[in-house]
Chain A
Amino acid sequence: MYFHAQEAIKAIILLMFSGFIFMLHHTGEIIKFINLEYTGFSQVASVIFLILFFIQVPRIFISREQAEDHNYCMILGCNHEMDKARKVPLKSVVVYAIIILPLVTGMFLPYKDLGAAEAVKRGICYTPNEQDLSHSDELVKPNKDLQEMLESPDLILDHVNFSTYVSNILTYPEFLKGKSIELEGFILAADSNSHDHPILGRLLVTHCVADAHVIGLLLSSDDNRLGNVNDWVKVNGEINIMEDDGQSLPVIEVKEWKETNQPEAPYIYP
């Protein structure tokens, strides 16, 4: 019986990938990385890694007969000579080190929720787009969410309706002017945009947090402290319209605000 070191390393890596992804799901920390709708894919991936591990294990141990038998090399590949088995060449060591790296950082480093600091480096969406403006003269298409928003006296945004409500406010500010609104998010300082107002936003995660970008609304307040908050805030206010280059931009006149803690689920999904 021979022991094949490289195959053993591969087997352990496969098992670790399976375990790592399983652990993320088990502890619920997977939501810090990907949109919940796509967790099924990575659960399947975890199972596939486990299957690959079981396929890999028999390759670790080779009997002498197998080592000398080249009958099956045609189909299984030929890397079972014994002189190769013991040594792990330097090049392979580097390769395995690279592959293990995400497992190590994933297991031992704390995860960070992305917030305002990362958000300013990304695309920020706080203005309506021109195409939508062009057909806003026509009667509004029957839009269930908008109807619901028009009927309710106060708009209260939570993490489920945040993206639809905000995009409706951006698209049809005229209809919603004067409504009172309550929402939660982090503050992006005034210099992050060309309108010189702070933005209250949240990160919208489509697929994984690498594609997160900010969706939010401009704030207007007499209180200068609001623009310098680094933490999450809860804002009560009223929707108003600001004219800029002939474009009407929704802006929230802040009535009251307070700092809050970051919620359990910091991201929102489309």
Chain B
Amino acid sequence: MIRRIEQNLAEITGFMILVSVFYLVVVNERWTIKMILLPDSLLAFNTIFLSILIEAIPFVLIGVFIAGIIQVFVTEEHIKKLIPKNRIMAVGMSCMLGALFPACECGIVPIVRRLVYKGVPIFAGVGFLLTGPLINPIVIASTYMAFGQDLRIALLRMGVGLLIALVISAIISYLFKENQLKKSTSTLELDQSTYRFPLSLRIKAMFIHSVDEFFDVAKYLIIGAMLAAFVQTYVSTNYLVGLGDGIIFSTAMMMGLAYLLSLCSEADAFIGASFRHVFPETSLLGFLIYGPMLDLKNTMMMLSVFKLRFVLVLMIIITLSVFGVLMFVHPWI
């Protein structure tokens, strides 16, 4: 029986595709479970969960493709040539590169993984990881719009964010020397140059790596989206906000909120702006800077790539640096 199925698998697959295409074109109505009465909040949870995924997936796919390209077309020699020998220069360069590179916080994780795998030092990878989603034209434009066309917050977000990213990657460069990647169980251990293969094969390999990378990352993205949707559905932000009073408390609160909500950095400014009448600007900056660097969704994704210990240390360093720098600059804001 199984043998028969295996022999005819191509035909069966083709038939299934045909049926599903037919279904999509002819049947416009979805078949949904209406018999079982599900609580409204669960349906709202599901809607938010799916919307986070649908929003994130295009950007993750872009990230996965870039990772595939890096995997196949960029060699370790390229990286060695590009990254400055001097550590301070390397930190500065990676943060600047991240600032020029438009990415969101979930799309950038697979890219950084590939870069580090190809020999980019871990602290430079972290610099890139932090500034990529935080500083880019789209984020600046949306922050500018959200805060009533006021350039001040947008500039502060960029400037203070860049400063914090530099601090964090400098600290990382002293703490960690090795690449901190998880031992990969999948297929992606290639060390030698792929240049002896023809271009067509290399393009094929790029796509295949993209597929594998997608499956590597997707499970963590989905778990992260689920947790974030859960928080959004069942935890009232007003309740969280009510906990905080005073600059220290309110900044910590807004940072916690940014972590839990896991909003895309292109959209979080609008949520941040809705707290304007409650909190001082420093706390809002905490929300705007901490969120793109670290949130529930991207913690899960980093766990898929880096060693547990490294992720924990990185989370602590990011949290302390963002909080510390904000408290330090608060008198001038």
Contact = CB atoms under 8 A, between A and B. Distances in A.
Interface of A: 1, 3, 8, 10-11, 13-15, 17, 19, 21-24, 26-27, 29-30, 32-34, 38, 41-42, 44-45, 48-49, 51-52, 55-57, 59-61, 72, 74-79, 95, 98-99, 101-102, 105-114, 117-118, 120-125, 127, 129-132, 167, 171, 192, 204, 206-211, 213, 270
Interface residues of B, number: 89
Interface stretch (B115-123, B271-279, B322-330): B271-279
Q: Which 5 A-B pairs have the closest CB atoms?
A: A77-B187, A123-B274, A207-B267, A208-B55, A112-B43
Interface string B104-137: 0000000000000000000000000000000000
Contacts of B48: 114, 209-210
26 contacts: A24-B54, A26-B28, A34-B55, A42-B58, A74-B197, A75-B197, A77-B188, A78-B187, A79-B186, A98-B223, A102-B49, A102-B53, A107-B31, A108-B33, A109-B43, A112-B46, A117-B40, A117-B41, A121-B236, A167-B148, A204-B270, A206-B142, A207-B55, A209-B48, A211-B267, A270-B145
A79 B212 CA distance: 11
Given A45-B57, A52-B211, A56-B211, A209 B51 contact: yes
Q: Is the interface of B mostly helix, strand, loop or mixed?
A: helix
Contacts of B86: none
Contact of A59 (B29, B188, B208): B208
Contact of A120 (B228, B233, B236): B236
Contact of A207 (B201, B209, B266): B266
Interface of B: 6-7, 9-10, 13, 17, 20, 24, 28-34, 38, 40-41, 43-44, 46-55, 57-59, 61, 65, 72, 142, 145-148, 150, 186-190, 192, 194, 197, 201-202, 204-205, 207-212, 214-215, 218-219, 222-223, 225-226, 228-229, 232-233, 235-238, 261, 263-264, 266-268, 270-271, 273-277
Contacts of A121: 232-233, 235-238
Contacts of A61: 9-10
Contacts of A8: 9
